[in-house]
Structure 1
Amino acid sequence: MTDSFDVVVVGAGSAGCALAGRLAGRGVRTALVEAGGAVPPGDTPIASLAATAPGHALNWAYPVALARGREGTVPRGRALGGSSAINGGYFVRAVPADFAGWAVPGWSYDDVLPYFRRLEDDLDLGSDTARHGDRGPLRISRPAGRLRAPATDPFLAACAALGYPSEPDKNAGGPPGAGPVPTNAVDGQRVSAAVAYLPPPWGRAAPLDTLTVHSDLLVDSLVLEGGRVAGVRAGDVELHAEETVLAAGAVGTPALLQRSGIGPPDTLRAAGVVVRHELPGVGRGWSDHPSVYLPLRSGLPAPHPDAVAGQASLNWDSGTDPAGDLEVLLFARPFAPGGPEHLMCALQRPDSRGTLEIVSPDPAASPRLDYRYLRTVSDRHRMRAAVRVGAEVLRAARWRRAEGGPDGSVLGNDTRLDEWIQARLTTSVHLSGSAAMGNGPDAVVDAGLRVHGLSGLRVADTSVLPTVPRRGPAATAIMLGERTADLVSGQG
């Protein structure tokens, strides 16, 4: 089967849904292709992270190497809405220092602020229209009233007692501090990108005659005609378009590029793929937030069943980054019934860089992901700082630490603390930069998100962010979809 469109969008995740919905709403004939299916209403309540478990039908579970001797499994959303349909609902923008550090023309914080405002209907702060939106498709709220977990206020009080400043609006672009976490949830209901941007039966937007959604369709490769990308191929289905936009996520996008013969020649040849277009940065040089969990038992009543788990966070500076390179995030709900609550301690601006390599042309085969966490002295030093800040907050809140937390003898010894971290190291699942924008030798896309050296092809997901933002990238991913809609239609 062959069909033709103005634009084909590969991936119905956070950016892809926003992009496809906006384009179709402007009369652009758009095909949205997603390897997963629709999420049944009520199947993934915001209070549950069950859909992130390995083997769940709504996620890709990628085996990964996190660090030397430390392996794990990383979930990525496989459904309409992508990871926004299964994650914890953390919805915090990248900070101004992130955009300044990327130094890509047209991508300053002031350049993208209108898109952050356009995407949101902030139910708490939408009246501040200079910084927030009150008419966007994505509803944003902060835990309050019955949905504010009992552990949240003691956490914030402990941060204040320790002298950390308050950050009541984590989407204001101001200095780091402690405050409530904005979420894409309202009254316990998840507002995924699919719910916000797609028409029925997938979401709540108005019907769009110009949008065709192909769900449960895994793309094999791009259709290349010389130096032009003419569409995508999935089994015996070909979808042709004037422009193809990859929004398959920071794992799916570089893997698809490599399967199509676009990427580092040595990686492609080793996987049995013919080199069609050499781009050494595809799948290389990306970053993510390394993290560990401190278990705690607050002794407080359980949160309301509809409350989000990640309620509040402390963002702070290790001593080298005033914009905040550390985060301590309160998980006020146990991961399993009867278990402890947790503080997640994370390094938000790591120096270490990862690699992604496909192992075969088979689209169902997991790529090889090597995070290369904590390879630098600086990263190890700052990761220790993150754990020590978390332990400090734990003590100040006067919570009883559950078995498994580091005691004083570990916290006071760098070598022992490194060993403790290594044994528990995990990832925040915020992979970014696997097809980075810029003009350097390893850049994959330009400031217009066009793939260097090819026509008819752009990338619009967290692959393009040169480094992982200092805050989780969910809000930034949807901003990318909004901005790309303007770029594709000549308005940005």
Structure 2
Amino acid sequence: MTYDVVVVGGGTAGGPLAARLSEDPDRTILLLEAGPVPADDAVPAEVRDGTTLRAAVPGHPLTWSYPALLAPSRPYTVVRGRMMGGSGAINGGAFVRARPEDADGWARRGNDEWSYGRVLPVWRELESDLDHGATDVHGGSGPMPVLRAPQQSPAAEAFHAAAVDLGFGEEPDKNAPGAPGVGPLPRTVVAGIRRNAAMQYLASARHRPNVAVRGDTRALRVRVECGRTTGVEVETAGRGEFVEAREVVLACGAIGSPHLLLLSGIGPAEKLTALGVPVVADLPGVGRDFTDHPQLVVEWRGRPPGAVGRPETFVTVLDFASPGGPAQGDLEILLCEQPIRDLLTGVPGGTGGGALLVSLQGPESRGRISLRSADPYVPPRIEYRYLSEPVDRVRLRHGLRTAVALLRSRAFAGVVDGLVDPGAAAVGDADLDRWMDAQLGTAIHLCGSARMGPADDTGAVVDQYGRVRGVSGLRVADTSILPTVPSRGPGATAVLIGELIARFMRRGD
């Protein structure tokens, strides 16, 4: 059978994309997922449970574990979801839209379909906001349930009060336009259950006669003949197969999609040739100049009585600008009411403490993804190059000092019994820099590894409709196409990408 569209990747963008395309009964869709596709009543407990990150650990069978370098001397393992739902099936469930300034910035780079005014109706259509309902800004009947984290705990109340005491404004609705500040985190965790986008969209769509879903099927490369995509080479249970398609859409995530493009001969010609990969399209931008949010974790010891009831995961968030930073904010501090170890294991340690996650949301540093080998089973080389631009270090240092000031404020006095790290001695720039270099982490919000742009943008890989340059019948639909990482987490934006690319395809763009 030759499918009209094969979507590779059943994650936060791929699931919604396939579901929306299948609304056209005359279009046949095949959704390929490398991991399992469990029935609704067979989703593993650690995936359903939105109060822990038990599945988001290296080596878990439902993840990809990619070796990476965050900085030249900072090796790291990047964990991505490997099941229906992708990383949205294992992450913290945050559902914060890209800021209007982000969307309008992408539009100014020659991608006018992505302006805030054009995407706002899609934002509204895809969500069911359980706090606000249907308004000019929010939707009330979409597939994605959005609910703000509860704020009735000593830690959440202290965090909010401390932020206000330090002079930061309040931001009660993180998904509405306005100045950055402190407010509850919008999430897709409802009654403790993580509601990932693919499951939400495909719950009914997967039963349509024109859509098929195949799990445990790994894409090895896209086949291109005479400049046109003909299908995908895949492997299922050790058996190779070629799946024919009139059009292929890669939605494998910002690591998986550029890796698959490179394996298929689409990327920088000189480097592909050196590895023995036949060149299909010379696109030097594949894997180049990606952005992500560098992150530090400041842990604190709890003072009894600690959190009320079962601790929440990610609860309250402060967005703010560094000195001289952009108006929408370039720093974020996220409150977690559990120690990180408890969060990752799901086993309370009894310390009653928690953590502040400090992220730089507007980094200048750029990373790259490249092939190590033409063998599809060899992971790509991932180099984040965090803090390679000096301004990033200065801004993240400011964010770290702000987090410490929050925890040492009067408002936190009844909750915090001292810092676990970075410790009282780390006050000077040199001390903080040494601690940052040793503890540097990532929010795992990688974007821009196959970015969109107009014809005169030599680094662009796709146009604003997701179409890969120089190859007919091939698109990319995930966060790899974003020109820059949003100044908020990209989970909600990934759903938007699936929705928009489906709309473009259905109208013939």
Q: Give the TM-score of the pair, scaled to structure 1.
A: 0.94
The match for 2:442 is 427
Structure 1 residue 359: deviation in Å? 1.2
Structure 1 residue 237: deviation in Å? 1.8
The match for 2:326 is 321
Runs of 5+ unmatched residues, structure 2: 343-347
Structure 1 residue 415: deviation in Å? 1.4
The match for 1:343 is 356
Q: Distance in 2 between matches of 1:447 and 1:357?
A: 23
Q: Distance in 2 between matches of 1:150 and 1:23?
A: 46
Structure 1 residue 303: deviation in Å? 5.4
Return the match for 1:437 from 452, 455, 460: 452
Return the match for 1:142 from 148, 153, 157: 148
Q: Distance in 2 between matches of 1:89 and 1:471?
A: 13
1:356 aligns with 2:369: yes
SS at match of 1:219: strand
Is residue 206–residue 213 contact of structure 2 (8 Å, CA) maintained in 1? no
The match for 2:157 is 153
Greater mean alpha carbon deviation, residues 424-433 or residues 290-299 = 290-299
Q: Distance in 2 between matches of 1:472 and 1:350?
A: 13
Is residue 59–residue 76 contact of structure 1 (8 Å, CA) maintained in 2? yes
Q: Distance in 2 between matches of 1:123 and 1:228?
A: 44
1:17 aligns with 2:15: yes
SS at match of 1:443: coil
Q: Distance in 1 between matches of 2:308 and 2:274?
A: 51
Return the match for 2:24 from 11, 23, 26: 26
Q: Which amino acid aligns with 1:415?
A: A
Q: Distance in 2 between matches of 1:228 and 1:438?
A: 21
Structure 1 residue 125: deviation in Å? 1.2
Q: Which amino acid aligns with 2:122?
A: Y
1:282 aligns with 2:286: yes
Q: Which amino acid aligns with 1:135?
A: S
Q: Give the TM-score of the pair, scaled to structure 2.
A: 0.91
Is residue 301–residue 420 contact of structure 2 (8 Å, CA) maintained in 1? no
Is residue 59–residue 75 contact of structure 1 (8 Å, CA) maintained in 2? yes
Q: CA RMSD in A?
A: 1.6
Structure 1 residue 48: deviation in Å? 1.2
Q: Distance in 2 between matches of 1:343 and 1:473?
A: 19
The match for 2:64 is 60
Runs of 4+ aligned structure 1 residues displaced above 6 Å come to: none
Q: Which amino acid aligns with 1:321?
A: P
The match for 1:37 is 36
Q: Distance in 2 between matches of 1:308 and 1:205?
A: 32
Q: Is the alpha carbon distance of 1:303 and 1:280 closer, same or farther for their aligned partners in structure 2, counting shifts above 3 Å?
A: farther
The match for 2:345 is none
Q: Distance in 2 between matches of 1:442 and 1:89?
A: 32
Q: Is the alpha carbon distance of 1:217 and 1:193 closer, same or farther for their aligned partners in structure 2, counting shifts above 3 Å?
A: same
SS at match of 2:112: coil
Q: Distance in 2 between matches of 1:401 and 1:91?
A: 31
Return the match for 1:73 from 62, 74, 77: 77
The match for 2:264 is 260
1:115 aligns with 2:122: yes
Structure 1 residue 176: deviation in Å? 0.6
The match for 1:403 is 420
Structure 1 residue 374: deviation in Å? 0.1
What are the residue-to-residue correspondences of 1:92-131 with 2, within 5 Å?
92-102=96-106, 103=108, 104-127=111-134, 129-131=135-137
Structure 1 residue 150: deviation in Å? 3.7
Structure 1 residue 364: deviation in Å? 2.1
Structure 1 residue 173: deviation in Å? 2.3
Q: Distance in 1 between matches of 2:206 and 2:464?
A: 31
Runs of 5+ unmatched residues, structure 1: none
Structure 1 residue 158: deviation in Å? 0.8
Structure 1 residue 205: deviation in Å? 5.4
Q: Distance in 2 between matches of 1:253 and 1:114?
A: 27
Cα displacement string for residues 403-440 of structure 1 (whole angstroms, at most 9, x for unaligned residues): 22232x423x1111111111100000000000000021
SS at match of 1:25: coil
- How many residue pairs end up in the alignment? 480
The match for 1:216 is 216
